[in-house]
A and B are shown apart, each in its own frame.
Chain A
Amino acid sequence: MLKRVGYMLVTLFIIATATFFLMKTLPGTPFTNADRLNEQQLENMKAKYGLDQPVAIQYVRYLANLVQGDLGMSFKFMGRSVNEVIFERIGPSALIGFQALIVGTFVGLGLGVVSALRHNSIWDYTSVTLAVLGMSIPSFVFAALLQYYLGLKWGLLPPALWKGYEYTILPTLALSVTVIATVARFIRTEMLDVISQDYVMTARAKGLSETGVIVKHVLRNALIPVVTMLGPLAVNIMTGTLVIEKIFSVPGLGEQFTLSIVVNDYSVIMGITLFYSLLFILMVFVVDILYGLLDPRISVRGAKAK
């Protein structure tokens, strides 16, 4: 357990270092109209953000702040810390991300289960085709389609902006498409695999009803591995929000991230990158523990030692 936390910290450190040095190699400056500033002004600005120091010093300072949970100051928003920016922006992203995960998982589950139970039927072929489309077409294409048809043409839902709950629906749907497709395909494969296992035959040979066999023996064993998908799905959703929030003008972290890239707001870019990484690492950690709790064959050391 401790070892695992150690690994997490090391991973985080490597990501922090990599982002820092990558940022340093990027061309451009964070100051708008840099060419109109004179030498002195530019020097002052750089001094203010510590950019006049050698890279090594900057790096050490950056790490020292990081250890205290301080992601530094934004270049763009005068006097505001990156922590504040993230904190302000996280709400909408978390909401649509979480909704997309829930909707996507449940719809995907349903499709996958129907597909497996009606293996090789028209249902199966339809949902497999949909799943392949859902996974290969990028989510912004769906976003654009949803926005155009549901939002503009038929006027069923607000096509953009963020003024109430109904504004969350389209971005959620757009984000959930990939999740649905991934989960459906995964569940289908898992269920088909489990259905052909000997222990399912044992269950049937006991005289259980077909529903009993599916619910108690097939579903449970097919669902456990789905937990491992949570990590990759979370990443998928995080990257998805970058574009989706832009398209639907959602004032979230993803939109801030794209904005910051446009204006070279290094500290915010680094901050959000690190924040996303942290989320992902935590996710992997939670998934591991969850898996250990769900599958009796795996015991997470420390969490479920006997």
Chain B
Amino acid sequence: MYEPILSVDNLHVSFHSQNRVVKAVRGVSFALQKGETLAIVGESGSGKSVTAKSLMRMLPAQTAKITEGAIRYDNQDVLSFSPRELQKLRGKEISMVFQDPMTSLNPTMKIGRQIMEGLAKHEKLTKSEAKQKAIQMLEMVGIPQAAERIDAYPHQFSGGMRQRVVIAIALACRPKVLIADEPTTALDVTIQAQILDLMRGLQKQTGTSIILITHDLGVVANMAQRVAVMYTGEIVEIGPVHEIFTRPQHPYTKGLLQSMPRLDADRSEPLVPIPGSPPDVTRLMGGCSFAPRCPYVMRVCHHFSPQSTSLGPEHQVSCWLQDRRAEEMRRSFCS
């Protein structure tokens, strides 16, 4: 196994608001290898964005608390970073692309300056060098007439073009990790494909590791080598994409795959949405959080949380069906 560039161990994040505590992330662990793309999938509200923001310590300081766990970047303890160390981490080592390109650029600042800001901070370039670099970045993300467009404002760009600009900002200082939080969700289908192509191409050039958050399994199949499936703040299954797609082990992963339209599938095979909706994370009780929706639910599921079980060197799942202690039941349910 390679050396991971970024690793998360048993991360717990909760939000505190007037006498209410939301446990948004509950014991997430994963490691990101150099040069790989790890996808994180899951329904909305499952804690994907909160996990992503934790990695750069971008959670709102007043309400969010990382209550437990460790985050290591390049063998440094990110949770113990000072504000100054965090500033050096953000944009330079780890960058982030957000979901909505219509709102993630400053509307009153020229896009060139928005790219140059990070360069000025991290690379100590002179003004003209930074400008050259900004033009170069815009060209790299496929914006024509980059030399003139650096003086444009965001509103003069289409959504797809803006997302290219956001990617240019994120990659300007050649970060080693790029976190893309649903980077194409807000875009048209054709533009989505273009942006994903761009990201893949850039990754080939730069060797950046990518954490790609999405709820679109099609995107996962196209982009990632490994995928982590999140449900109510936990990773319920993680493994190589081909393995998860062909042999999903967690009932939730199976449900996700069945609810997704597939090009290669027999058209007569109906799409089966997962019945029910995710539980309110403020009133989670003991046991498996998927139990109320799980077709394979057993009595033990209601009372005890399933532990993570390894199904191979890279494949882990948290479900009683896979637990060695429940071997008997497994045989009776998944024959």
**A70: interface (CB < 8 Å):** no
Question: B275 at the A/B interface (Cβ < 8 Å)?
Answer: no
Asked whether B155 lies within 8 Å of A297 as measured between CB atoms, the reply is: yes
B92, B106, B114: the one within 8 Å of A207 (CB) = B92
- Chain B contacts for A297, CB-based, 8 A: 107-108, 153, 155
B21 / chain A contacts, CB cutoff of 8 Å: none
B91 at the interface (CB under 8 A from A): yes
A296 & B91 in contact (Cβ 8 Å cutoff):
no
Whether B67 sits at the interface, judged by CB under 8 Å, is no
Asked whether, in the complex, the Cβ of A205 is within 8 Å of the Cβ of B58, the reply is yes
- Compute how far the CA of A157 lies from the CA of B213 in the bound complex, rounded to whole angstroms: 65
Give Cα A208 to B108, complex, Å.
17
Within 8 A of A (CB), among B152-210: 153, 155, 166, 169-170
Roughly how many angstroms separate A208 CA and B114 CA in the complex, as a whole number? 11
> Are A206 and B117 neighbours in the complex by a CB distance under 8 Å?
yes
- Residue of A120, A198, A206, A221 near B91 (CB, 8 A) is A206
Flag if B155 contacts A205 (CB, 8 Å): no
Q: Does B293 have its Cβ within 8 Å of any Cβ on chain A?
A: no
Closest CB in chain A relative to B120 CB, distance in Å? 9
Beta-carbon contact of A197 and B92 below 8 Å: no
Give the most central of B106, B122, B153, B170: most A CB within 10 Å.
B106
The answer to whether B118 and A199 touch across the interface, beta carbons within 8 angstroms, is: no
Query: Considering residues A119, A202, A216, which has the most beta carbons from chain B within 10 angstroms of its beta carbon?
Result: A202
- Which residue of chain A has its CB nearest to the CB of B105? A199
Complex: A199 Cα to B169 Cα, angstroms? 12
Chain B's nearest CB lies how many Å from the CB of A139? 34
A241 to nearest B CB, angstroms?
Answer: 34
Whole-angstrom CA separation of A224 from B109 in the bound complex: 13
Is the CB of B87 closer than 8 A to any CB of chain A?
yes
Q: Count of A-B contacts with CB under 8 A? A: 80
What's the minimum C-beta distance from B154 to chain A, rounded to whole angstroms? 9
Smallest CB–CB gap between A300 and chain B, Å? 15
List chain B residues, Cβ under 8 A from A208.
87, 117-118, 121
Docked pose: A212 CA to B84 CA in angstroms: 13
B89 within 8 A of A: yes
| Interface of A (DSSP majority class) | helix
CB distance from A119 to the nearest CB of B (A): 8
Contacts of A301 in B (CB 8 A): none
Which residues in B have their C-beta under 8 angstroms from that of A197?
103
Contacts of A89 in B (CB 8 A): none
- Chain A nearest CB, measured from B15 CB (Å): 15
Q: Does A25 contact B (CB under 8 A)?
A: no
Q: Is the CB of A296 within 8 A of B155?
A: yes
Cα(A220)–Cα(B83), bound, Å: 23
Beta-carbon contact of A207 and B87 below 8 Å: yes
Inter-subunit contact B103/A206 (CB<8 Å): no
Interface residues of B in 41-98 (CB under 8 A from A): 56, 58, 62, 83, 86-92, 95-96, 98
B123 CB to nearest A CB, Å: 11
**B100 at the A/B interface (Cβ < 8 Å)?**
yes
Asked if residues A209 and B87 are in contact (CB atoms below 8 Å), the reply is yes
CB neighbours of A39 from chain B (8 A): none
- Compute how far the CA of A203 lies from the CA of B83 in the bound complex, rounded to whole angstroms: 15
| 8 Å CB contact of B169 from A119, A202, A209, A210 | A202
Complex interface residues of chain B between 104 and 145 (CB less than 8 A to chain A): 104-109, 114, 117-118, 121-122
Is there contact, CB below 8 Å, between A296 and B87?
no
How far apart are the CA atoms of A295 and B107 in the complex, in Å? 8
Which residues from chain A contact B56 at a C-beta distance below 8 Å? 205
Which residues of chain A in 170-185 are interfacial with respect to chain B, using CB atoms and an 8 Å cutoff? none
Residues of B within 8 A of A294 (CB): 108
Interface residues of A (CB under 8 A from B): 119-120, 197-199, 201-210, 212, 216-217, 220-221, 224, 294-297
Apart from A205-B56, A205-B95, A212-B121, list 9 A-B contacts with CB within 8 A.
A119-B62, A120-B62, A198-B103, A204-B90, A205-B90, A205-B170, A220-B109, A296-B107, A296-B155
Between A and B, 10 residue pairs with Cβ closer than 8 Å are: A202-B98, A205-B56, A205-B58, A205-B90, A205-B91, A206-B90, A208-B117, A221-B108, A224-B108, A296-B153
